[in-house]
Chain A
Amino acid sequence: MSTLAARRTHIPGEPGIWLFVLGDMVIYAIFFLFYAYARAQEPAAFAASQALLNEFFGVANTLILLTSSWFVVKGVQAARTAPGAAHARWFKLAFACGALFCLSKAIEYTVKIQAGLTITHDGFFMYWWLLTFFHLSHVLIGMTVLVFMWRAVQAGRTHVLLLESGATFWHLVDLLWVLIFPLLYLARSTT
């Protein structure tokens, strides 16, 4: 193997956060596979229940979280190149996106409950409620982390490692929803 100039690599954040992130990804993958297996047992029934979902919620939530991740990336970039209390605004913007997501979820959950589409309604909705609620708990934790991040930046305690760790967790929250939305709202195959 060539020993020419070693490639300088970098892992953002504390290594521990990556252990957690990868572990969480494995747990979710297993959860997704349980859902997919259940769906494969009764594709027509699942497709019929899926059709009761409002895709606008799903799309809106995806756009909200993708944008929040962009804000977080910009915030970390700013903290690295020119540390300053002003950069806290990026994390506040990301937090605002998280709050919007929660509001959207609250509305969607209310509509579903009023329609009787609760967690015990059928197999599909059991998975829908469990997956989205489990994800929502991650969003709430992420929002708490964002608060810590912006307060640290405002107080001039810009430890880039802390910001990178929080950012990594937030991107996890984003990427999980990026999979949940198509899986639960869009992909149906009855052939």
Chain B
Amino acid sequence: MPIARVDLMLAAMGAPHLSSQTTSLLRLAGASLARGAEIRIWTCGYATMLTAESLGASKPRNVLDWGGSYPSTPSLARELLATYPGSVSWLACRFCSDERGATPQIPEVRLETPMRFGTHMAAAGKTIFFGVV
């Protein structure tokens, strides 16, 4: 299956909460999409857990804000995909997801074999890596 060309591929590798890299990735994705770019997000390693269906729609209650509700990372991914339909895709490495029990993924995310990572990179104008697997 041919892979559509995109302007930018953002590859999130490794532990997504070790730093603020997930926040930066989502901010950059949103800013790029707002400028009309077409982007692809690829998660590997523990970053695949960002869109695991088991996380639900919201985070556990904040004891300091008992009545508040905070979106889970799958919800943030869904919001990005819904806000820019056709301009952004989200892929999760199948091997990494399976190995870490990060399945099932939310239906909006496509599982992809790591064997096609290079092909996806080649179809992107630029690829930026966040973190280390």
A and B interact physically? no
